[in-house]
Structure 1
Amino acid sequence: MTKDSRPVHAGDPFPSSSQPPTRWHTLSRSQVEEMLQTGTRGLTEAEAARRLGVYGPNRLAPPKRRGPLLRLLMQFHNILLYVMMGAALITALLGHWVDTGVLMAAVIINAIIGFIQEGKAESALDAIRGMLSPHAMVVRDGVRREIDAGELVPGDLVVLASGDRVPADLRLASVKELRVEEAALTGESLPVEKTTATVAADAPLGDRHGMAYSGTLVVYGQASGIVVRTGAATELGKINQMLADIRSLTTPLLRQVDRFGHALALTILALSAATFVLGTLWRGHAPADMFMMVVALAASAIPEGLPAIMTVTLALGVQRMARRNAIIRRLPAVETLGSVTVICSDKTGTLTRNEMTVQKVVCAGHVFDVGGVGYAPVGDLSVDGRIIDPEHYPALAMAIRAGVLCNDARLCEEDDLWRIEGDPTEGALLVLGGKTGFSQHLGDEAWPRLDSIPFESQHRFMATWHRDSDDMPWIFTKGAPERIFDMCSAQWGADGEEPLDIDTWRRMATNVAAQGLRLLALACKRAAPQGESLDFADVDAGFVLLALVGIIDPPREEAIRAVGDCHHAGIRVKMITGDHAETARAIGAQLSIGVGKPALTGAEVAVMDDATLREVAMEVDVFARASPEHKLRLVQALQEHGQVVAMTGDGVNDAPALKRADVGVAMGMKGTEAAKEASDMVLADDNFATIATAVREGRAVYDNLKKFILFMLPTNGGEALVVIAAILFELILPLTAAQVLWINMVTSSTLGLALAFEPAERGIMNRPPRPPGEALLSGFFVWRVLMVSVLMMTGALGLFLYELDKGTSIETARTMAVNAVVAAEMFYLVNSRFILAPARLSGNRYVLLAIAACIPLQLAFTHLPLMQGIFGSDDLTLLEWAKVLGAGLLVFCVAEAEKFIIRRTPLAARLHHA
């Protein structure tokens, strides 16, 4: 029986498309066993083998790969390169081998650069498959044994222990203190306590406590579970399929360059065809001679150096960002960051410190605020903004002591960095003790522990027995507020023990929880156990309630500033987290995200159609309990609204949204390999502030690319105008095709490279993001290109004709024309550093270095016999060199005069804003 032909029944883990999937989290163990025809002895070997044939192995399908040869060939799929290769073919047929060689060299160089730029193949799917457990402990025929996890089938009974990776999706049958790390799937910041209880059908993934999912990690306890889904049908498999189905989007810059390249190529072809027709039919030139002129025209107009300069400029941006802890994995992402309009950020560890911190302590009659963040034991306690001494508040002092003593975590300092060993919530209580001078070491010495009852999920509390320095017995307990409330008959007030006001405590618990804080209650009893050890009978009643403690993972200070910087730069920041809505809303308020707006949950996103979600996604800034599908839909909704989206994440659940986003940003410290491989950028420090810094660098990169294009196009335009004028007015061709390619590939690229090193201009983060559909060349840029092109044509062609009129040889006149264009480029490079501001040499030493490198190249072009043989150049005298410099100065002076005039018009303000 094949997988496609197998019968489908109600309990089928792989239902047909017409049958809704089984909601295993709503079914009891007995129902699951009945539907999958299994039990406490597991499956028989024969039945397991049969089901393996029906359902297939418990593996994820490998992705389709594009080989290196095909990737290399695809680099030639560029309309500008097609034009150049066509010209090279025809020049070869005509026997002009030097021109053919120069043209093909330009094509091959650009293809190789593109191949290297594409980088390593996408491997996010490999990373997800690497999360699957290689082995599983299974019960078959009543015997426990280890098998290859790929052989698991629905109905198998799997045994889990601490440290195991869950091998398939399981409906838990029995648990003993089971805690599972599900952050990679759900975004939940702490390990999840598991039970065997059923939950509602619409419960989000993170709240399905009776399920254990493939790829998650058992961090504590033991359990057994029935396999309900394997391979592609698991939650991990669904994410894998989502990732495989997502087509990576091209970047705004690449879209702009692509449109620009098509328009330029069509213009060049049309201009060349028109020139050829006019030259042959109107002027009567021989077709072969006319074609060589047209090749020179095409070569002069094509910006051969653009792909190389783009790559170098982006690579320099990569280096600068790497120094700021932003590791770029794909070059175009550098520039895309500069055009981002929305940043969707994960919460835990990115916007927050991932260090649980006590922020409030509620005692009878007082609410204390706790200063300081993170695990460093530094901070003050205050009431209504007034710093207090905890020793003056007996209930507070005893509550802090209880939190330190009733604790199994450890607070350690290494290399001036504080870290927690153990449960982060318990660690927060140790830090609170350190802030008030009651350290763990002091507590162990003065209040030694004699016995304890460890925390268990079914009891929801921990208790410890101590003796103080006077040899008096004490029992301390901490746990869930409602559980501790049941154990207390009194509260510790200003005058000692007093009757318990349970209504006030419950109201305070509700108020603090509404602020997004996790709550713990602390209580004590001055008594010894009834026997020789601490027992549950000793903690049933008689306790004095000390305090409620509010704990939260606080926002990073630098993230608060960075969010403000993003808002100032016109970038919306949205928080999309797997955590609870109250926690997300509280953190969002501290970060100025979604203030005064509701938080939307994943369940609410699930019932919205795409049109509604597009509108809601723009209005709401905090999204909680979000699943992978929800995150992906939110990113798509924002993109369909015309936004350029950056998405941060660290888990496998984030990988589809990271791949779909215009810029996927993964966490380097706590991120999964799947998230990193699906991303365009990795944050080495897991810090949101690094994204804001990267956006600034991205904007600078785009500015520099625009400056390069503004520098390069007039060079091509000037050369093209020289050739067109020569054809139309029946002049000798002032520049050969090989000479044009020398200018474009060698000198233009050498000079233009200096603009990649330009520092970011002042106020770059005060601008709004540029519109995603903005053209690469504005009307003003077109004017500047035309103006400088005419100036370069005037200088080069004028000098060429003047020298011919004097009787100078054609080789010398052409050499002067080439050098006039290059000299104009050198001077115009200084103009191009600032679009409107006056030219200056300081601030970018690479401009001077580029000019210094270009001068010997031109001297070699002019005076070396080898170069003269290749390019037909000739020696120049000092007077002739002076004339060349004069042609260059013409461009510089007129360009600066144009800037001066425009700076005094209303256009200047609009250009500066853009």
Structure 2
Amino acid sequence: MYMWHVKSSESVLEELNTSIENGLTDDEAKRRIDQYGYNEFEEEEQTPLWRLIFEQINSPLIYILLAATVISFFIGEIGDGIIILLVIVLNAVIGVIQESKAEKALSELKKMSSPKALVKRDGVLKEIESKDVVPGDIVTIDTGRSIPADIRFFNTVNLRVEESALTGESVPVEKDANANIEKDTALADQANMGFMSTLSTYGRGEGVVVRTGMDTEIGQIATLLKKQEKSKTPLQEKLAQLGKILGIGAIVVSILVFVIGYFQGRGVTDLFLLAVSLSVAAIPEGLPAIVTIVLALGVQRMIKRNAIVRKLPAVETLGSVSIICSDKTGTLTQNKMTVTKTYVNNTITSIDKLPSSESKLFLQTMVLCNDATMEDDDATGDPTEVALLEVGKRFDFEKQTLKKQYKRAYEVPFDSERKMMTTVNKDVNGKNFAFSKGALESILPVSTKMLKNGQIIELTKEARNEITNAALSMSEEALRVLAMAYKPLDGEKPDEVMEDEFIFLGLVGMIDPPRGDVKESIQLSHQAGITPVMITGDNPKTAFAIAQSLEIADKPEQTMTGQEIDELSQQQLKKRVETVRVFARVSPEHKVKIVDAFKQKGNIVSMTGDGVNDAPSLKKADVGVAMGITGTDVAKGTADIILTDDRFSTIVAAVEEGRNIYLNIKKSILYLLSCNLGEIVALLLAILLKWPAPLTAIHILWVNLITDTLPAIALGFERGEKEIMKEKPRDPEERVITGQDGKFILGNGFLIGLSTLIAFMIGLQGDFSQYLTNSSSDKLTQAQTMAFLTLSFSQLFHSFNLKQRKGTVLTKNLFDNKYLIGAFILGIFIQLSLVFIPFFNDLLNVRPLDANQWIVVIGFSILPIMVNEVIKKIKKA
């Protein structure tokens, strides 16, 4: 990309073959449209529906389920195949509905283009559609007009431009066409350039268009967005691994059973059906749908906490976030300049303690030497001047009232050379006063006296030193310092006012202050093992001051600039990011590099922001979080999560919610796997003991898809654990199933399997071998019914073992999850209906039981929860 900011305006005009006087001809403009294209953004291809669906089913677990469906249809088990297929379809539909909103980032970027541009064509100034602007066009920018393309200014008059959405600079920047800019100067400091979609807030300027469309700075952001690829979340990756393990395990177990049974002399067809049954038992068919549903439940809870989730997997990813990269302006701060300190009567004081009775002239100067307007709470104009009006209003110096008492007779507007502004106002008695504000280095040299404790005294050298030191002290706190002065005009005509012999009144220090609740949220982040990092386009001094006040950083060495990033390779940056907590004067490309460096260090990274400049890094991060109120449509269209209240504290609350949601998902997975292992244990032991199968394929499928599913979903409603934010973030390399989890699954799986097998054995009461070839025996069917009910009831009771990680069921209110209670009752009711309603007897091959058989079923069904409670009590003791 051409470095237009380095070149003189004359050389730029010559290179683009245009002139200030005439601009381009209409014919030349048309030719350049053919050459460069329209001044708009390329549309991103919409993701087709078939691809959205494919992304939902593209996992090993789903492939295994599809294979099981085909096998089920092949061997005539149509009902089994249909049920499995329904689960796959349900999972895909839920995912597609949640993610079907097409990426809006580029289309929203296009909407941000200025609809009209004031250009010179054939020597005539005319307003045209911004899309028709071409390189070489001479553009005029006045107050309130959006800049239609990237331009190199050749003339500026007091021009200030709001660039926060692009650069992160918290206040409008002053533009100077004659500024000499170095090659490596950051975007925010390129004073002789204007950038597409930024807004002029003051003054006027003229420039030549140097870049349009996708070649502009904002267009480069659009290009970055297109280059970013979606990456899998930790849970997606772990479930894919789990799916492979389960798939391999299912195949191994099935082959093992087939081989053992073959040498036992069992029929090949029966063996094949048993092998399929074991495959079904080994794979939790409902797991993909249940995980999706639990995530969707988490989405609803997040909405109540002011966070809208656009992409389901982002919910669980939040729980493992170890780095929160946050934009400063508008995210950590209010994006509103605010006066925080003053210096009057030789004393620095907070604005709260300003003695208004002794500071009348000081406050009047703030309000009268001011071009901003304020009616009620609606203010317009330069943010710095708006901040001064707010101080006046706070102390009952309303502009509407004052301007009637002191009518403006003349003004000397602010310019970049003088760095001050002066107005002449006539009071009701006809006396004129000059009020001036500006940089201290401009006001102090033209002041000869000062107002102190209501008395006008000489401005001595000592007093000047005190004022200078006060300004320096305020600057060290990253405050923007303005000086105020006035003088009565005795005999001078208003339009002949000389900016000299002023009476110095005092200083104001202002800053874009932190949001009120941010500090507490950052402290909570530290407690939770999460590192907050500030990334901003603002200057390093201001950024560090804010970071220090929020306890993000405690020493200047923890600050790095965009220029320093450019001097490092990505590998070197990867090493440095460990110790850096503030990145200042960075561009969108830098932000992406920073996020990438943190990710390469093994972190799960969340990026929060609101501006156009944040969009690429929002997309690059594991979780992109946009501000819903102040955020641009581009940022919101790119993010995974949108905060409806723009509070940094909400992202911390969302992390807490994410951790609990992951915990609930894990509870569901542990529940399903331990239940499925119980089925495998029961079947595999029966085969090894040369017994008939205690469960049929339809029994296993019914339990997996109906009985297990309800409690697994209900576990997603478990309330959050209070101590969750005192734990470190989950290791992104940690498997879904840890060693401790494996013990839990094995222990409970064997317990459920043995209970089922013993109930089956009691039901047969005789020689088991005679039933190997007589699978239609009523006694066998009744024994299988006992095994089927014991399996399903024991799994329903087992769901209460998952309510919490520590302590027994009774230490947590047993009834605090009404959905789990409802799932338990409904599960019992469904199983009883299968037994007592004749229609279901033949459909699922079950038979009614007598009283003694019911006692056996109930006794063995409650065994898992009793054993778990005893073990927990022993551990606690």
- Alignment TM-score > 0.5, same fold: yes
Q: What does the per-residue CA deviation read over 1:194-250, in whole Å, with 9 as the maximum and x for residues that have no partner?
A: 221232222211111211112223344443321212222211121111111111222
Q: What does the per-residue CA deviation read over 1:305-347, in whole Å, with 9 as the maximum and x for residues that have no partner?
A: 2122212221222122211211111111111111111111111
Q: Work out whether residues 170 and 512 of structure 2, in 8 Å CA contact, stay in contact via their aligned partners in 1.
A: no
SS of the equivalent of 1:75 reads helix
Q: What does the per-residue CA deviation read over 1:85-121, in whole Å, with 9 as the maximum and x for residues that have no partner?
A: 2232233222232233233233333333333343323
Which of 348, 361, 365 aligns to 1:402? It is 365
Q: CA 1:877 to 1:465, structure 2 compared with 1: closer, same or farther past 3 Å?
A: farther
Aligned equivalent of 1:819 = 789
C-alpha separation between the residues in 1 aligned to 2:66 and 2:757? Answer: 28
Residue 716 (structure 2) pairs with residue 753 (structure 1) = no
Residue 493 (structure 2) pairs with residue 513 (structure 1) = no
SS of the equivalent of 2:694 reads coil
Residue 278 (structure 2) pairs with residue 265 (structure 1) = no
Letter in structure 2 aligned against 1:893: M
Indicate the larger mover: 520-529 or 397-406.
397-406
Q: Work out whether residues 182 and 192 of structure 1, in 8 Å CA contact, stay in contact via their aligned partners in 2.
A: yes
Q: Work out whether residues 293 and 727 of structure 1, in 8 Å CA contact, stay in contact via their aligned partners in 2.
A: no
C-alpha separation between the residues in 1 aligned to 2:41 and 2:383? Answer: 34
The correspondence of residues 718-737 of structure 1 with structure 2, limited to 5 A, is: 718-737=678-697
Q: CA 1:298 to 1:880, structure 2 compared with 1: closer, same or farther past 3 Å?
A: same
C-alpha separation between the residues in 2 aligned to 1:467 and 1:105? Answer: 82
Letter in structure 2 aligned against 1:399: F
Aligned equivalent of 2:233 = 251
- Across the two proteins, how many residue pairs are aligned to each other? 858
SS of the equivalent of 1:348 reads helix
C-alpha separation between the residues in 1 aligned to 2:118 and 2:728? Answer: 57
C-alpha separation between the residues in 2 aligned to 1:419 and 1:315? Answer: 40
The correspondence of residues 351-750 of structure 1 with structure 2, limited to 5 A, is: 351-371=332-352, 380-381=353-354, 389-391=355-357, 394=358, 396-411=359-374, 413=376, 418=377, 420-440=379-399, 443-444=402-403, 447=406, 449-457=408-416, 459-466=418-425, 472-494=431-453, 495-501=455-461, 502-528=464-490, 530-531=492-493, 534-535=494-495, 537-598=496-557, 599-750=559-710
SS of the equivalent of 2:155 reads strand
- Unpaired stretches in structure 1, ≥5 consecutive residues: 1-20, 372-379, 382-388, 905-914
Letter in structure 1 aligned against 2:423: T
C-alpha separation between the residues in 2 aligned to 1:113 and 1:815? Answer: 34
C-alpha separation between the residues in 1 aligned to 2:300 and 2:177? Answer: 51
Aligned equivalent of 2:770 = none
Shift of 1:622: 1.1
Shift of 1:135: 4.4
Residue 798 (structure 2) pairs with residue 828 (structure 1) = yes
Which of 57, 64, 82 aligns to 1:76? It is 57
Indicate the larger mover: 692-701 or 480-489.
480-489
Aligned equivalent of 2:138 = 157
Q: Work out whether residues 91 and 292 of structure 1, in 8 Å CA contact, stay in contact via their aligned partners in 2.
A: no
Which of 169, 183, 190 aligns to 2:164? It is 183
C-alpha separation between the residues in 2 aligned to 1:354 and 1:236? Answer: 21
Aligned equivalent of 2:807 = 837
Q: Work out whether residues 52 and 100 of structure 2, in 8 Å CA contact, stay in contact via their aligned partners in 1.
A: no
Q: CA 1:508 to 1:422, structure 2 compared with 1: closer, same or farther past 3 Å?
A: same
Residue 292 (structure 2) pairs with residue 308 (structure 1) = no
SS of the equivalent of 2:140 reads strand
C-alpha separation between the residues in 1 aligned to 2:417 and 2:428? Answer: 34
Aligned equivalent of 1:786 = 746
Which of 93, 96, 99 aligns to 1:118? It is 99
SS of the equivalent of 2:339 reads strand
Q: CA 1:676 to 1:268, structure 2 compared with 1: closer, same or farther past 3 Å?
A: same
Q: CA RMSD in A?
A: 2.3
Residue 174 (structure 2) pairs with residue 201 (structure 1) = no
Which of 29, 40, 44 aligns to 1:59? It is 40
Aligned equivalent of 1:96 = 77
Q: Runs (4+) of structure 1 moved beyond 6 Å?
A: none
Letter in structure 2 aligned against 1:873: V
C-alpha separation between the residues in 2 aligned to 1:450 and 1:43? Answer: 41
Indicate the larger mover: 666-675 or 38-47.
38-47
Q: CA 1:727 to 1:833, structure 2 compared with 1: closer, same or farther past 3 Å?
A: same
Aligned equivalent of 2:779 = 809
Which of 97, 116, 140 aligns to 2:121? It is 140
Shift of 1:420: 3.5
C-alpha separation between the residues in 1 aligned to 2:825 and 2:479? Answer: 63
Q: CA 1:210 to 1:597, structure 2 compared with 1: closer, same or farther past 3 Å?
A: closer
- Unpaired stretches in structure 2, ≥5 consecutive residues: 767-776
Q: Work out whether residues 815 and 821 of structure 2, in 8 Å CA contact, stay in contact via their aligned partners in 1.
A: no
Shift of 1:838: 0.7
Aligned equivalent of 1:239 = 221
Aligned equivalent of 1:25 = 5
C-alpha separation between the residues in 2 aligned to 1:728 and 1:419? Answer: 81
Letter in structure 1 aligned against 2:756: A
Indicate the larger mover: 292-301 or 184-193.
184-193
Shift of 1:467: 5.1
C-alpha separation between the residues in 1 aligned to 2:567 and 2:685? Answer: 66
Aligned equivalent of 1:892 = 865
Q: Work out whether residues 201 and 381 of structure 2, in 8 Å CA contact, stay in contact via their aligned partners in 1.
A: no
Q: What does the per-residue CA deviation read over 1:746-768, in whole Å, with 9 as the maximum and x for residues that have no partner?
A: 11110111211111112111111
Letter in structure 2 aligned against 1:867: F
Question: TM-score when scaled to structure 2?
Answer: 0.93
C-alpha separation between the residues in 2 aligned to 1:440 and 1:96? Answer: 83
C-alpha separation between the residues in 2 aligned to 1:752 and 1:67? Answer: 32
Q: Work out whether residues 117 and 311 of structure 1, in 8 Å CA contact, stay in contact via their aligned partners in 2.
A: no
SS of the equivalent of 1:526 reads strand
C-alpha separation between the residues in 1 aligned to 2:32 and 2:403? Answer: 57
Residue 153 (structure 2) pairs with residue 172 (structure 1) = yes
Shift of 1:143: 3.1
Question: TM-score when scaled to structure 1?
Answer: 0.90
Q: CA 1:359 to 1:603, structure 2 compared with 1: closer, same or farther past 3 Å?
A: same
Indicate the larger mover: 246-255 or 401-410.
401-410
C-alpha separation between the residues in 2 aligned to 1:866 and 1:216? Answer: 72
Q: Work out whether residues 42 and 106 of structure 2, in 8 Å CA contact, stay in contact via their aligned partners in 1.
A: no
